[in-house]
Chain A
Amino acid sequence: MIIEIFTKGKYAKNEEAGFAKKLVLAGLKTNFLKVSKLYLIEGVYSGAEISRLACELLLDPITEDWLLKPRRCVGDNIYRVEIWLKNSVTDVVGQSVKEAVADMGLKGPKRCRFGRCLYVRASSELKLKHAVAKTLMNETVNYCEIIKV
């Protein structure tokens, strides 16, 4: 499962502006950008356990919220970009989460990986891919997936 954590609307402005500024440096100006954190947790958990994981371990309940599915974004030309560390690269956040899940008394997951997700309006996927590659990911250690919403 992938738990998607995102900053609630009224607190998200600075974070989103920071990412948008980076994309501008690579030539992509956008009027729609949202950011999420992704936690891929491989294991079997009940609904209550997942909720506990999200609320007690992964998010700040005042400023953040979570979903078990992608966020709903309405509008044209919006893409969902997932950026992950390649499997051959040590993921220290994922590793810490893996240990922390077990420390919470839940069944230790088989694998945990941490990633970032952006919802961006762009005129073309190619342009977006170029901007993401130039600013938000390093192809030596990251890979990304882009899906049109």
Chain B
Amino acid sequence: MELLLSKFSTLNHKQLAALDKKYGWSLNLLELEAAQRYFKKLKREPTRGELETIAQTWSEHCKHKTFSGPVKFRSGRKVKRYKNLFKETIVKATRRLNKQWCLSVFKDNAGVVEFGAGGKWALAFKAETHNHPCALEPYGGAETGVGGVVRDIMGVGLGAKPVLNTDIFCFGRLDSKMKLPKNALGARRIFDGVVEGVRDYGNRMGIPTAAGAVVFDDGYALNPLVFVGCAGIIPRDKIHKKVSPGELIVVIGGSTGRDGIHGATFSSANIAEDTSNSAVQIGHALNEKKALDVLLKARDKNLYSAVTDCGAGGFSSAIGELASECGAIVELEKAELKDTAIEPWEIWVSESQERMVFAVPPKNLKRLAEIADGENCGYCVLGRFTGDNKLRVTFKGESVVALDNAFLHGGIPNYEKNAVFLSPATCNLPPKKIKKPYHQVLKSILSHPNVCSRRSIVSQYDHEVQGGTVVKPFVGPGQNGPSDAAVIWPQAATGDMKDFSGFAAAHGINPAVGRINPYLMALYAADEAVRNLLCVGADITRTALLDNFCAGSPKDPQVMGGLVLAAEGCYAAAMGYGAPFISGKDSFYNQSTDAAGRQYPVPLTLLISAVAPVEDIRKSFSMNLKRPGNPIYLAGTARKGMGGSIYNELYPSGNNALSGLDIKDSFKLYKALLSAMRSGYVMAAHDISDGGFAAAAAEMAFGGDFGADLCPELCFAESGISETELLFGESPSRLLLEVDKKSESDFLSLVSSLQVAKAGYVNNRAELIIINARGKELVKEKNAGLLACWERDLL
């Protein structure tokens, strides 16, 4: 192979492919040929370090070339072409909405929006995936996933202080009987390891992990999806960075070793049996905490002019990114090393964790060094930024990399990908009747792994650290109610105990809907995230969104077709809710070979994360019922269709139709409800999602230790809807609200023209009773029985 490398510019296609496979670059032929042309022009052969740098910079993980590339989407006879799918959908919505409170979007490590009343602070938010590493080594993969997204927040602008971690997992079913290939870890193993990894990293860094979700589906049996998010607070005058020639490249944090080599390129390929352990990164939370402490002190003393994190691609990515508009000279022998038996190119691309790269004016180096020494945090000066737009990397005087920025960052060839989506056949006949009584159906839904309590996970996380978690993962007097969103009061970051500004964070995810209709999946996910925010009283007119797409190979036109539809759904949702996307990430090649030798991709999955301001955290509220005698209202219209529902998974109803979503009407309704909430008329709110009306009512009841007498038939519903759909259908845009009895008439005056109707009352018997319009009892069950089903132990 060394021989092939030395003749790189003359290799034929077969030899190029062999070389790529051997070195694990995940470059395609077009890209390898572009590299050949570049070196032919330079009249020399590349070094290993140069090809590694190109592979990393052009990887799917770093460049997002699928999402930002051209696509030809065919739907019947119609063909639609995108030059840049991402810009023409997600970014387009943000640009068109042009919200002044968006301060920095799609250009830094995280999106940044205004925060608080005084104009002093901003909120940064980002969610990442760490799927491939978690499939290989769940604990280490999850740990470093958290570490990575926390560093994104540390590296946004001139550095934000992390105040909230989020975690959303998609795993194979724990009770799955699916035969796994030899190299695959079982769902239980992955689940345990990932939860422990997220726990250990977040807890040790002192960041509350307070919002999340878990989805179990055998589509993730071979490739788990691990989404980790982080929100941070940053002074508004520190949200921009600029590197100037002459500034020093200073690295702080952990040392560099052979761990994590090829992480970026590995994330851009299907997982194979022979994947090396060097692609696994090992986290060290305490090192990152030290780096964070150094960063915040140095930031507030204005000691550096730019910072970014060492993530995928290591120095190559971080320094390459900072130097992309000026150039840099790097001397690798100056790096702090874990291991002396390491090749220079390995130092350059190693993804050893917990490292941050700064651009430091030479006069400030001494003061920065003093801070690092004071925190017992390692640091080194690796080189300097130049103004010649060239990236030059040496090791003891020998050239490792000498590339032009123009080629490295603009030379990647792209090709048009074909996209098509063949929708599965849908049936909208009334759901089949089953013999099981409704109360037993409700109990089985409450104990379904996608609905039941996540206490055994959540209780491992420290969601109280920093003392600002106002609405916690579990609410109510017995801490039995599953919260719709987390509300955070980031006083630990602002230091202002008199400012009660906070923010809420929530999510929407529904891969079961995506299997039927990816466009609706995006609408449902955005709608669920917005409703969750509303349920704690957040200002949903200032919702900011993150998109995280995960899919199989983009070479499959069906995968691309789903992606196009979901991206269009994101555009429609963002425009409809006036909620711009501020950042996002995509992860492809989430597929492996199954035990039968077939390719087994994950279902197209879209996570929408959302944040919105809570003007006064003292006025935020929870979902548990509060007072007997209070009326309960159902906002929104129940619609026909059992597609993607938990009910359908348990009792296939023959109906897999999805109801549409009128965003305009929904948003009008939500704004009116927000106004009622702000006036103090609403005492509890809960969104209707997994498990439908009955599950939402049960959760509110046992969450508050009160019962409810309800009749959903008295509320707005599509004509001809069945009892099953009323009770267990998951049509979107609906919420259950407990209204203060004393304010009922005021509440009604605010929502009079909208689809809001009284469903019943809170009772003091700790019993849920649901009747139909003829007075027949459909469900009659004590809270204790419902809670016992819901409290099923996942771990």
Chain A interface residues (CB < 8 Å from chain B): 22, 25, 86, 88-92, 95-96, 134-135, 138, 140-141
A-B contact pairs, 27 of them (CB 8 A): A25-B188, A88-B258, A88-B278, A89-B277, A89-B280, A89-B282, A90-B257, A90-B259, A90-B282, A90-B284, A90-B338, A90-B352, A92-B283, A92-B287, A95-B284, A134-B189, A135-B189, A138-B136, A138-B139, A138-B185, A138-B189, A138-B193, A140-B136, A140-B275, A140-B280, A141-B280, A141-B282
**Given A22-B192, A141-B282; 10 other pairs, CB 8 A cutoff:** A86-B277, A88-B278, A89-B280, A92-B282, A134-B189, A138-B139, A138-B189, A138-B193, A140-B275, A140-B280
Are the C-beta atoms of A140 and B338 separated by less than 8 Å? no
Query: In the complex, A139→B300 CA distance in Å?
Result: 45
Are the C-beta atoms of B186 and A134 separated by less than 8 Å? yes
Query: In the complex, A85→B188 CA distance in Å?
Result: 21
Task: Tell me whether B137 is interfacial, beta carbon within 8 Å.
Answer: yes
Contact pick for B137, options A88, A92, A95, A140, CB 8 Å: A140
Task: Tell me whether B569 is interfacial, beta carbon within 8 Å.
Answer: no
Using CB atoms, name the residue of chain B closest to A93. B284
Task: Tell me whether B140 is interfacial, beta carbon within 8 Å.
Answer: yes
- Residues of B contacting A22 in the complex (Cβ-Cβ under 8 angstroms): 192
Task: Tell me whether B661 is interfacial, beta carbon within 8 Å.
Answer: no
Chain B interface residues (CB < 8 Å from chain A): 136-140, 185-186, 188-189, 192-193, 257-259, 275, 277-278, 280, 282-284, 286-287, 338, 352
Are the C-beta atoms of A88 and B277 separated by less than 8 Å? yes
- Residues of A contacting B193 in the complex (Cβ-Cβ under 8 angstroms): 138
- Residues of B contacting A140 in the complex (Cβ-Cβ under 8 angstroms): 136-137, 275, 277, 280
Are the C-beta atoms of B277 and A141 separated by less than 8 Å? yes
Using CB atoms, name the residue of chain A closest to B189. A135
- Contacts A25-B188, A134-B186 given; does A89 touch B284 at CB 8 Å: no
- Residues of B contacting A92 in the complex (Cβ-Cβ under 8 angstroms): 282-284, 287
For the complex of A and B, 4 pairs with smallest distance between CB atoms = A92-B284, A90-B282, A90-B259, A140-B277
Query: In the complex, A138→B134 CA distance in Å?
Result: 12
Using CB atoms, name the residue of chain A closest to B258. A88
- Residues of A contacting B282 in the complex (Cβ-Cβ under 8 angstroms): 89-92, 141
Query: In the complex, A106→B649 CA distance in Å?
Result: 61
- Residues of B contacting A89 in the complex (Cβ-Cβ under 8 angstroms): 259, 277, 280, 282
Query: In the complex, A22→B189 CA distance in Å?
Result: 9
Using CB atoms, name the residue of chain B closest to A95. B284
- Residues of B contacting A95 in the complex (Cβ-Cβ under 8 angstroms): 284
Query: In the complex, A22→B282 CA distance in Å?
Result: 23
Using CB atoms, name the residue of chain B closest to A90. B282
Query: In the complex, A140→B273 CA distance in Å?
Result: 10
Using CB atoms, name the residue of chain B closest to A25. B188
Query: In the complex, A140→B259 CA distance in Å?
Result: 12
Query: In the complex, A91→B140 CA distance in Å?
Result: 11
Contact pick for A141, options B137, B186, B258, CB 8 Å: B137
Query: In the complex, A138→B280 CA distance in Å?
Result: 12
Query: In the complex, A114→B626 CA distance in Å?
Result: 50
- Residues of A contacting B258 in the complex (Cβ-Cβ under 8 angstroms): 88
Query: In the complex, A91→B259 CA distance in Å?
Result: 11
Query: In the complex, A127→B284 CA distance in Å?
Result: 34
Query: In the complex, A99→B181 CA distance in Å?
Result: 41
Using CB atoms, name the residue of chain B closest to A138. B137
- Residues of A contacting B186 in the complex (Cβ-Cβ under 8 angstroms): 134
Query: In the complex, A33→B46 CA distance in Å?
Result: 56
- Residues of B contacting A135 in the complex (Cβ-Cβ under 8 angstroms): 189
- Residues of A contacting B139 in the complex (Cβ-Cβ under 8 angstroms): 138
Interface centre among A22, A92, A134, by most chain B C-beta atoms within 10 angstroms, is A92
Minimum distance in angstroms from A136 CB to a CB of chain B: 10
Query: In the complex, A82→B193 CA distance in Å?
Result: 19
- Residues of A contacting B284 in the complex (Cβ-Cβ under 8 angstroms): 90, 92, 95-96
Minimum distance in angstroms from A14 CB to a CB of chain B: 13
Minimum distance in angstroms from A16 CB to a CB of chain B: 17
Query: In the complex, A140→B190 CA distance in Å?
Result: 13
Minimum distance in angstroms from B275 CB to a CB of chain A: 8
Using CB atoms, name the residue of chain A closest to B282. A90
Minimum distance in angstroms from B133 CB to a CB of chain A: 10
Minimum distance in angstroms from B756 CB to a CB of chain A: 48
Using CB atoms, name the residue of chain A closest to B353. A90
Minimum distance in angstroms from A112 CB to a CB of chain B: 13
Are the C-beta atoms of A141 and B140 separated by less than 8 Å? yes
Minimum distance in angstroms from B670 CB to a CB of chain A: 44
Query: In the complex, A108→B278 CA distance in Å?
Result: 27
- Residues of A contacting B283 in the complex (Cβ-Cβ under 8 angstroms): 92
- Residues of A contacting B257 in the complex (Cβ-Cβ under 8 angstroms): 90
Interface centre among A25, A90, A134, by most chain B C-beta atoms within 10 angstroms, is A90
Minimum distance in angstroms from B346 CB to a CB of chain A: 12
Query: In the complex, A3→B188 CA distance in Å?
Result: 31
- Residues of B contacting A96 in the complex (Cβ-Cβ under 8 angstroms): 284, 286
- Residues of A contacting B275 in the complex (Cβ-Cβ under 8 angstroms): 140
Query: In the complex, A43→B23 CA distance in Å?
Result: 38
- Residues of B contacting A88 in the complex (Cβ-Cβ under 8 angstroms): 258-259, 277-278
- Residues of A contacting B259 in the complex (Cβ-Cβ under 8 angstroms): 88-90
Query: In the complex, A144→B258 CA distance in Å?
Result: 22
- Residues of B contacting A86 in the complex (Cβ-Cβ under 8 angstroms): 277
Query: In the complex, A141→B141 CA distance in Å?
Result: 12
Using CB atoms, name the residue of chain B closest to A91. B282
Query: In the complex, A25→B174 CA distance in Å?
Result: 11
Query: In the complex, A89→B137 CA distance in Å?
Result: 12
Minimum distance in angstroms from B87 CB to a CB of chain A: 38
Minimum distance in angstroms from A50 CB to a CB of chain B: 25
Query: In the complex, A90→B258 CA distance in Å?
Result: 9
Using CB atoms, name the residue of chain A closest to B279. A140
Using CB atoms, name the residue of chain A closest to B259. A90
- Residues of B contacting A138 in the complex (Cβ-Cβ under 8 angstroms): 136-139, 185, 189, 193
Using CB atoms, name the residue of chain B closest to A85. B282
Minimum distance in angstroms from A145 CB to a CB of chain B: 18
Minimum distance in angstroms from A111 CB to a CB of chain B: 12
- Residues of A contacting B286 in the complex (Cβ-Cβ under 8 angstroms): 96
Query: In the complex, A32→B287 CA distance in Å?
Result: 38
